[in-house]
Structure 1
Amino acid sequence: MSSLQSTLSFLLPSSTHNKKIAITNVDSWLGCCIAVHLAEKLEKRCPNVQIIALTCKDADSHLDKLKKFKNVHIHKIDYNDEKSIERAISGAKCALLLPEMTEHRVKHAKNVLAAMKKEKIKGCLMLSVEGAEIAENHGLKEIKSFHEIEKMVEEYCSCYLILRKSILNQCFLLWSPIVQEKQEFPMSCTAECQMAPLDACDLVCAIETVIVEHCRHDDDHNKGNPRDSTDTNADAETDESGEKWNFGGIHKNKKYILTGPHKITAQGLVQVLNEETGQRVQFKQVPREELKKYFESLKERENWYEDLSIDRCCEMMDIAVAGGDDMHEDHDHHHMAPNQSVINLMLDELELVKKGEVGFVSGDLEKIIGHQGRSVKDFMHKYKDEFRSGRL
């Protein structure tokens, strides 16, 4: 494609987008982060690709900045109505399945996958949770639901990639109020328990790498220009138009556990926090129910809301949105309070930490993005002011 053609393809209306990718659950902070970041990258590297962003809420306000991207089309759907989903994802080549943070996630995911099958969408990248395959053994219902969705993805999709994320660094921001007020870091595991937290920025980067590589790979093959001499595209699927595509590439039909670059104890986490803030925060082991009550109390605090703030999401991902000069204007005043499903998931994740099931570095992140990712220390250094006393 000439430089002129490339420029025109970027400037022309969305009808020039000859490839579509569906993303579910853009209502969530993580789904929003992924959608915005992916839109930015595809706009630059794959201008013929359009994102179908699925939302179950009115998108007129909380997703305004996502709408600024010319390659994004937001669809309000009803996850209980399979026909609604079918209409929204019609024409998509693959889908990014981000299970909802509600008690209905399994039912809704099943409806999405059924709609994908009806629309002959064969490729799926699913975001799951570390420990999904063993959650049932420990009676962890929230994480177990992700494993149920994993099994459905394998059943419905001929090409898939399942990414199981470890506990995210960004979740530690939920402890900032109690650190500021009481100089305590309560957790439902022991001080010696180990974890390998993943940074959300690296998770988003991994998803972007897979999707962009898929789009560029397909374009090259359908133009008769394989990316390298060893790539025969032997496993490629053929769609209704006769185009060949191979979602996932070398990662096709695999399950990866994405962890951070280092394992760290709960006490070590607090020590890193103290090193970065200059404070003397104490680790405190508490019962699961006590930690649950603390998380539930966050939504009662000033400036903590369950509602999505795209400005806050973009700030956390270091994303600058075109035309968004006011992007950071409220991030110091809006904090994301977890809903009940998020709280239960975090408590389940900490239960696996307590049982010693997740205290390892997998190395799978490096297989996708080429490096080990950001450490807990990197995260605490960036957000040290959030934890410092006297900010409330």
Structure 2
Amino acid sequence: MNNQNLCNEPTRHHHKIAVTATDRWFGNVIARCLIMDSKHSVVTVRCLAKETNKHVKKLERLGGEIHKIDYDQPESIKDALHGVEFLIFVCEADKNRVKEARILADAAADKNVNNAIVLSLKGVEDGDGKVMNDLRDIEKEVCQRIRNACVLRNAFIQQGFFLWSPNIENRGEINMTPRESNEWAPVNLDDIIYSLECLMLQEGKVVTELNKKHRGKVYCLTGPELVSGRKIADTINRVIEDRGDVEYRSSLADFFRNTQQSLECGKSNFIEGVHRLVSATALFEEVNRQPSARNSGTNRNALGLQDRITGPNRYRDVQEERFNRNVAAFVDTMRDIIARLKSIDIERFELDTQDRLIILSNIKDAVEVIENIQKSLDVIPFLLDERRRRDRHPRPFLPLS
């Protein structure tokens, strides 16, 4: 890809770009890519986060400026935004995200941050449900408060598929909410970064104001190719050849049922079992993407799984590595996992009575399992296997944001 490259900025003025929600995967990887593209330049990337977890600390080691913020203390946000010219707004993952967006946008306006790019989701304009409604409100709140703002809506991110890698490795299944025949056009992270840099650069220089032609605009990013659950599974099976058959499943009832059965009969240790349960909550939170109306995008391969899947020894000793690495992988509290399980809104999904009862029963059982584990452990691991991870694209971790 023909990257715009923030390194080419020749002026002595030290530009500051702020990225929000960098303790979440999406904000984290956006900040990481901008930091790597701006090395040895006069561009500073400020990383705003509610929690300075190990992923945020990695950004600091790469050269980012870390600022811990507290939405109950707006002054902490104002301090973090002092001198910032561009705000890359990634919404938070919790239920108060609209209120928090309003607080952050007010702080940005008070500190004369006049340029903002709001990262949102494709389909927000006519989608329903809490997630879509919240994102619509967030777009409105930020664009009303910050003078020069635009919105960048992306389709499902290709790298997000790696969230399902343990399920593919262990069970030979991809469990997602879209039907097997539904089509969507996943977009590559590099294309999102490229688009951000195009908006912030003009003739190779960071602009002090967002170009007039972009102000108030909404851009939708999709990948260059429509895919479906069936096509994804067929591609993986073609790559792995004789090493097993991967099946796409749009029903999550079997996923919950089989996970619980694996725990009960000892096929999974508690780390793997809880990992799957946490992944399941992410599946429920995932928004159904609408098929792309146009085959647009830049020069990325929408089926970019092959580079990782065919890597040498990709799956060797994965279980042993996870066991030996479990302490380092502890990234969140049990209490948070339980809360996420309990907050799942089953009514959002078209399920028959039997499937609904199965899921509700398994959620209850999952909470009991986690509560029992919680008695002896403070936290649990739920990061995906990081073996052979590239620095630019860290493997997904929950919540994706």
* TM-score, normalized by the shorter chain, greater than 0.5: yes
Are 1:32 and 2:2 counterparts?
A: no
Query: Deviation at 1:190?
Result: 2.5
Aligned residue for 2:166? 177
Match of 2:58 in 1: 65
Counterpart for residue 221 of structure 1: none
Post-superposition CA distance 1:158-192 (Å, at most 9, x none): 21121111111222223223322332333333322
**3-state DSSP class of the match of 1:286?**
coil
CA distance in 1, matches of 2:133, 2:203: 29
Q: 1:127 touches 1:163 (CA, 8 Å); kept in 2?
A: yes
Pick one of 115, 122, 139 that aligns with 1:123.
Answer: 115
Look up the SS of the partner of 2:39 in the other structure.
helix
Question: 1:66-113 CA deviation, whole Å, 9 max, x = no partner?
Answer: 22345x321111023222211211121121101112222111111110
Q: Does the 8 A contact of 2:120 with 2:152 survive in 1? A: yes
- Which of 38, 50, 57 pairs up with 1:56? 50
Match of 1:284 in 2: 249
Q: Which residue of 1 aligns with 2:124?
A: 132
**1:110 pairs with 2:74:** no
Instruction: Work out whether residues 122 and 159 of structure 1, in 8 Å CA contact, stay in contact via their aligned partners in 2.
Output: yes
Q: Give the superposition deviation at 1:359.
A: 3.8
Matches within 5 A, 1:60-209: 61-70=54-63, 72-136=64-128, 140-209=129-198
Q: Structure 1-normalised TM-score?
A: 0.67
Unpaired runs of at least 5, structure 1? 1-5, 11-15, 219-244, 306-334, 366-370
Alpha carbons of 1:344 and 1:294: their partners in 2 closer, same or farther (altered >3 Å)?
Answer: farther
**Residues 318-329 of structure 1 mapped to structure 2, 5 A cutoff:** none
Q: Relative contact order (alpha carbons < 8 A, sep ≥ 6): 1 or 2 greater?
A: 1
1:358 aligns to 2:358 (yes or no): no
Amino acid at match of 1:268: K
Aligned-pair distance for 1:344?
4.1
* Conserved 8 A contact 1:277-1:387: no
Contact 1:22 1:94 in 2 (8 A): yes
Report the Cα offset of residue 338 of structure 1. 5.2
Q: What does residue 271 of structure 2 align with?
A: 301
Structure 1's 81 and 105: CA in aligned 2 closer, same or farther, altered over 3 A?
same
1:41 to 31, 37, 44: 37
The Cα shift of 1:195 comes to 0.9
Indicate conservation of the 8 Å contact 1:186/1:283, yes or no.
yes
Shift of 1:274: 0.9
User: How many aligned positions are there?
Assistant: 303
- In the TM superposition, residue 339 of structure 1 has moved relative to its aligned partner by 9.1
Residues 56 and 272 of structure 1, relative CA distance in 2, 3 Å threshold: same
Shift of residue 213 of structure 1?
4.1
| Aligned-partner Cα distance in 2 for 1:129–1:388 | 32
Query: Superposition RMSD on alpha carbons, in Å?
Result: 3.6
The 8 Å contact of residues 308 and 314 in structure 2, kept in 1 or not, is answered as no
CA spacing shift, 1:291–1:115, aligned 2, 3 Å:
farther
2:234, 2:280 → 1: CA distance?
A: 28
The CA distance in 1 between the partners of 2:271 and 2:144, in whole Å, is 43
1:257 partner amino acid: C
AA aligned to 2:299 is: Q
TM-score (norm 2): 0.65
- 2:309 partner amino acid: Y
2:299 to 357, 372, 389: 372
Whole-Å Cα distance in 1 between the matches of residues 126 and 294 of structure 2? Answer: 17
Contact 1:23 1:53 in 2 (8 A): yes
- 1:217 CA drift (Å): 4.8
CA contact (8 A) 1:180 1:387 kept: no
Q: Is the 8 A contact 1:22 1:89 kept in 2?
A: yes
Does residue 1:255 correspond to 2:179, yes or no?
Answer: no
Does the Cα contact within 8 Å between 1:257 and 1:362 map onto a contact in 2? no
- Which whole-Å CA distance do the structure 2 matches of 1:250 and 1:295 have between them? 51
Alpha-carbon distance in structure 1 between the residues aligned to 2:22 and 2:181? 36
Aligned partners of 1:300 and 1:252: how far apart in 2?
50
Work out whether residues 106 and 145 of structure 1, in 8 Å CA contact, stay in contact via their aligned partners in 2: yes
User: Which residue in the other structure is 1:231 paired with?
Assistant: none
Contact 2:77 2:104 in 1 (8 A): yes
Question: 2:168·2:174 contact (CA, 8 Å) conserved in 1?
Answer: yes
